Amino acid sequence: MAFLIDTDILIYSLKGNRQINNWMYENQNIPKFISVITFGELMYGARKSQHPEKNLATAIRISELFPIIDVNRGVIEVFGELKAKLEKDGNRIDDMDLLIASTAIYMNMSLVTNNKNHFSIIPDLVLEKWEEIKS
């Protein structure tokens, strides 16, 4: 199974988190992707940072290392179904995070995130298992 890497994991890696970087090395032969939503979050963070030029270059480099998966009709269909089900159950998740989860489900990928509590309520979403990262 391929991996969809969430924004928080990329940020931890950029900050030199040993656990994340070891995981990336140990799983170097497994395909890894990012959502266009994650790329957008990286671009936003870079533009509002104190060093936008440097951080924009980093975001672009990440997009060269990890193929970007666009939001398409299939992802949106999963999104609509999940959002309706979650709301019926009294749960709400930020639309951007729900789009990332919908991409992982639609593409049959395991989501690599440190935000397990947030994503764990999404039915059919496979989460990569590890100990929670302490920032």
What residue ranges do the domains of the chain occupy? 3-15+29-127
Burial (CB count within 10 angstroms: exposed 0-12, middle 13-18, buried 19+), residue 98:
buried
- How far apart are alpha carbons 6 and 33 in whole angstroms? 9
Q: What is the CATH number of domain 3-15+29-127?
A: 3.40.50.1010
Contact 34, 68 (CB under 8 A): yes
pLDDT of the residue at 118: 85
Chain-centroid distance of CA 51 in Å reads 23
pLDDT of the residue at 134: 62
Mean pLDDT by 10 residues, the chain (135 residues): 95 94 94 98 97 97 97 98 97 96 98 90 89 62
Instruction: Determine phi and psi for 21, rounding to 5 degrees.
Output: -65, -35
